[in-house]
Chains A and B, each alone.
Chain A
């Protein structure tokens, strides 16, 4: 039967495992983090802001620019004025058509002296 379990015999690996188990291995990393924690926090904030800017820019590009139009007020229609025609308008027209020239009708010119005398022509 095949034994799948393995036994670590390398001393460096054993040492590394022991360091990991005891936490010695993480001590310098923790110290580094503690030493530069504010730089990390600052860097994360900057990265977050950059990511937020890029996300916002992408969102802005994707969304259509809003079109601002004046509200629809409808088609302007001409004001219809109700024309009033009085029943007495024909009378008014009669007066306006009344000719003030005299003589009306014009009296035609006639030659009353029709004869064969020479002084007439």
Chain B
């Protein structure tokens, strides 16, 4: 009899304190549930490169669509076609500037991943950060375009202001290459020091001469990398990035430095094989 009375009572009949407690416990269950499953959510392995690939893919998808809509508008200049073209232009500009920002971040990551912190390259690295901010701001700014005149005005301003940042990207590509060369150079020097510790205590005179020769050769490569970096002239000759030979003129230097490094490591491995391997 007592049990039937309890069942018959509706929730509205429950005391206010008990209702509050039930609501509170529901929140606790929900938070516990989210906290528990937060450990099992698979992490998203996105990096700068994948982000850039995605954003550039968006641009490549949007740009042909914009071109078609623009052609439609120019052939049939109706208000509907104009709005469609403007909306597509905004999407394309957004994708373009986000792709540029991602590419800049990708370059920055490439340089930072070498962990070199080469001082002559620091202005370029700093400029890349600023450039990325600029692209992100432009992407945001483009979304306020409403009219065709607004689009033209935006593009006019963009064409003037983007020149510097597009040049920075070119310098960033060079900085990435130089950073990689420096990383290799640092690794080579560390390898030599490691090899010296593995050699027997009494070294023949010829071996001492060969090690000294390696040290001298490393300095020569250092000088060449330094000269190549100073030759970039990022701050004084920024417009040099527009020249057609901006990249091609540096390929020869890269080949020369890489050849020297290959020769260097071959000589190091030869010493390792003949002097640091007791079983051979």
Residues of B within 8 A of A41 (CB): none
| Chain B, 44-81, CB within 8 A of any chain A CB | 56, 59, 63, 66-67, 70-71, 73-74
Tell yes or no: B211 within 8 A of A by CB: no
CB contacts under 8 Å to A, within B150-189, are 151-152, 155, 158-159, 162, 166, 169-170, 173-174, 176-177, 180-181, 184, 187-188
Give the CA-CA distance A50 to B181 in the complex, in Å: 100
Contact status A91-B173, CB under 8 Å: no
Q: Let me know if A110 and B59 touch, CB within 8 A.
A: yes
Q: Given B99, B110, B184, B251, which contacts A94 in the complex, CB threshold below 8 Å?
A: B184
Q: A95 — which chain B residues lie within 8 A by C-beta?
A: 184, 258, 261-262, 265
Residues of B within 8 A of A96 (CB): 262
Among candidates B100, B152, B266, residue contacting A110 with C-beta atoms closer than 8 Å: B100
Q: Hey, what's the 0/1 contact readout for A89-110 against B, CB within 8 Å counting as 1? A: 1011011101011111101101
Known: A110-B99, A110-B100. A102 touches B173 (CB 8 A): yes
- Shortest distance in angstroms between B177's beta carbon and chain A's nearest beta carbon? 7
Tell whether, in the assembled complex, residue B255 and residue A86 are in contact, meaning their CB atoms are under 8 Å apart: no
Residue of B nearest to A110 (CB): B96
Interchain nearest-CB distance for B44 vs A (Å): 22
**Quick check: is B134 within 8 A (CB to CB) of the other chain?**
no
**A108 touching B254, Cβ below 8 Å:** no
- Are the C-beta atoms of B247 and A86 separated by less than 8 Å? no
A84 to B272, CA, bound (A): 10
A98 to B176, CA, bound (A): 12
- Chain A residues within 8 Å of B99, by CB: 108, 110
Whether a CB of chain A sits under 8 angstroms from the CB of B268 is yes
26 A-B residue pairings within 8 Å (CB atoms): A84-B277, A88-B265, A88-B272, A91-B191, A92-B265, A95-B261, A95-B262, A98-B181, A98-B184, A98-B258, A100-B255, A102-B174, A103-B247, A104-B173, A104-B177, A105-B173, A107-B170, A108-B103, A111-B96, A112-B159, A112-B162, A113-B159, A114-B93, A115-B148, A115-B151, A116-B89
- For the complex with contacts A108-B59, A112-B162, 18 further pairs of A-B residues with Cβ separation under 8 Å are A88-B265, A88-B269, A91-B188, A92-B265, A100-B255, A101-B251, A102-B250, A103-B173, A104-B176, A105-B103, A105-B106, A107-B170, A108-B56, A110-B100, A115-B152, A116-B73, A116-B148, A121-B71
Residues of B within 8 A of A (CB): 56, 59, 63, 66-67, 70-71, 73-74, 82, 85-86, 89, 92-93, 96, 99-100, 103, 106-107, 110, 148, 151-152, 155, 158-159, 162, 166, 169-170, 173-174, 176-177, 180-181, 184, 187-188, 191, 195, 247-248, 250-251, 254-255, 258, 261-262, 265-266, 268-269, 272-273, 277, 280
